[in-house]
Structures are given as C-alpha cells and as structure tokens.
Amino acid sequence: MTSLGQFLRWVDVPIEEVTARIIVHYIEFLMARGLRPKTINCYLERIRQFYHYLIQEEGLELVNPVKRGYGQRMSIPLPKHLTEEDLYALFKACKTSRDRAMFMLMLRCGLRVGEVADLSLGEIDLRRRRLLIHDGKGRKDRIVYLSDDVLLALDDYFTMRPESTTAKVFLVEKGSYRNQPLSVRGIQKRIEYYAQKTGLRISCHSLRHTMATQMLNADAELVTIQDLLGHRWITTTQRYCRISNRKVQRDYYKAMEVVMQRTGYYQSAH
C-alpha cells in the first residue's frame, strides 16, 4: 500500500475536512509505529502533494492541512573519522605518489575533494609551507598550512609528475586522458579502490573529518579548526566535539582535579 493510500485508510473524515490537527495526530500515529523521521517526512510530502493537486488542478477550495513546519527533525550523523590503524592500512596500500599526496592533503590540511581537484601549481608555496584555497565552498579563499609529511608527499609526487600544459596539480596517469587534470570523480574512484582493497569504510570526506578530530584531540582551538576547514559557522565545527572523546576525557579529569582541590568533599567526609 502506498503512503497516501495508508493515510486515506487511516483518516476517518472526508478528505475535504482534514485539518492540521488531524495531520498532527497522524504524525503521532506514525511515530508510535516506530517509523523514522525521514520516512515520516516522505509520508507528509505525499499528502502535501495530494492536496496541492486537489487545489491547483481540481480547483477545490481547500487549505492544505500539511504545514511546512510539520516535518520531523532528522538526526545529523556524526562525522566518520579514521583510526591510526585505518590510516596506516590506507597509506600502506597506496600505489602511487600521486594518490599519497592527494590523501595527505585531505588528511593533514582538511581539503575537500573538490579543492584537491581544483588545486593549481601556483597556489602551493613550498617555501612558506602553505597553500591557497581559492574560491572554496561558499566562494571563500583561505590559507592552509603544510605539515612535514605533506611536504614529503608533495615532493615525491612532483618528482614523478609528468610535464603537462595544465596548471592543475593532480593528473590522470593512464588511458586516453593521461596527463589531463584529475576530476573529482576520478579522486573519489581512487579512494573507493583503496576502500575495496583494504576493506576499510573510508571516503575522501572521512579524511577531512579525521584531520579535524585529530587536531581537536591535540588541543587545537575550535576557531583554528574552523578557519582551516573553511567552515562558515562555528556550529559546524562543533560537531567534531561530539566524537572527540579523548579531549573530553582529558578536560574532565583536569577540571575535576581543580574542583576537588577547592572542595575536597570526599576527603573531609572521611
């Protein structure tokens, strides 16, 4: 049975008499059945479209009972970050210096896959150990810095990189498009290849998440991570706090030492 058909069987008044309050009761009915917010929102959208059709196409004088604010909030999944063992397995499996350099830029500099694909030779300043992300997400420029292992990975790649008329850093290595700029999809296919080869659940974005988590666990300031990742809102960066358990643990014990020194409730009671 379709979601719309189910609603029409459930409702006990003519469709012309369905009110917003009835829709609220229907949402409660769906929640009681254990449906997920995403599924409930799909049901509501079908009903909204049905009433939109009756009003616009059939000319019925109705008020659409499904209000826009009735959609259920869907939980935002936590960013997936990789363990040290995962990272070791990934880089051990890397076949080429190009792949290692691409993955290191995402892991150590927090670059998005599109930013890696768009990176040009003139935007890398090896002497000052930094690179310019030009016109990133939200049309913002930003500076990111190069760690020692990123410098080594880039140096290895540039030693092997063939001559090309394109200024883009990363090139296709085989086939009819050899020496042409590597596309976003091309980079994603490389990470998918290594995911299959190693059995790891990894993606380009998980490398970026891992960089943020590692920096937070190393006590980097949240605003610093926000700036490096190019997040517009600090709330986006704060999501990483929810998975950075080691920092939370350190902060807790450090704060509790101060609290206990000031109060000493347990000691004074014994």
205 among known catalytic residues = yes
Tokens of 40: 């409930």
Residue spans of beta strands (DSSP E) within 21-145: 124-125, 130-133, 142-145
Residue 240 designated active-site: yes
Query: Please, is 169 exposed, middle or buried when counting C-beta atoms within 10 Å of its C-beta (0-12, 13-18, 19+)?
Result: buried
Alpha carbon distance 188, 206 (integer Å): 12
* Catalytic residue, candidates 134, 137, 142, 168: 137
25 has catalytic annotation: no
**Residue 270 known to be catalytic:** no
Q: Which of 48, 81, 98, 112 is catalytic?
A: 112
Residue with tokens 């929102």: 41
CB 38 within 8 A of CB 30: no
Detail the DSSP E strand segments found in 122-232: 124-125, 130-133, 142-145
CA dist., res. 224 & res. 232, Å (int):
12
Which one of the listed residues 100, 208, 209, 247 is annotated catalytic?
A: 208
Q: Mapping DSSP to helix (H, G, I), strand (E, B) and coil, where does residue 248 land? A: helix
The neighbour count for residue 211, using CB atoms within 10 Å, is: 24
Is 242 marked active-site?
no
Does residue 112 have an active-site annotation?
yes
Cα 57 from Cα 51, distance rounded (Å): 10
**Structure tokens belonging to residue 12:** 């006990």
Exposure letters 111-149 (e unless 16+ CB within 10 A, then b): bbbebbbbbeeebbeeeeeebbbeebeeeeebebebeee
> Which residues are catalytic, by number?
112, 137, 205, 208, 231, 240
